[in-house]
Amino acid sequence: MPGPDDLIPSIVRGSQTPMPPPPTPNPIEGILAAGTGVALVFSFALLYLIALITC
């Protein structure tokens, strides 16, 4: 059975290092992340093709 002196340091340690909330699996965020990745690859490919055509 921990006494009040044992609880205070743990509360202080918890306030000094706040734990981030656990990541909840969100399908919309996953789709958006995949979409942005595909858009980035597509835009780079488009820029590469334009550079090949113009040069």
38-55 average pLDDT score: 90
Tell me whether residue 36 is in a domain: yes
Structural domain that includes position 40: 29-55
Give which of 28, 25, 48 is closest to 36, Cα–Cα: 28
For residue 27, the Cα-to-chain-centroid distance in whole angstroms is 14
- Whether the predicted pLDDT of 51 surpasses 70: yes
Look at residue 12 in the predicted model and tell me its pLDDT. Answer: 56
* CA–CA separation, 55 and 53 (whole Å): 6
Residue 8 counted as domain residue: no
Question: Per the domain annotation, does 53 fall within a domain?
Answer: yes
Written as one letter, the residue type at 34 is A
pLDDT tens by residue, 6-42 = 655 555 555 555 566 666 677 777 777 777 888 888 9
pTM: 0.39
Between residues 6 and 55, the one the model is more confident about: 55
Whether 16 is covered by a domain: the verdict is: no
Does any domain span residue 39? yes
Token digits of residue 13: 């340690």
Count of the separate structural domains present in the chain: 1
Taking the C-alpha atoms of residue 31 and residue 37, their distance in angstroms, rounded to an integer, is: 10
Confidence of residue 1 (pLDDT cuts 50, 70, 90): low
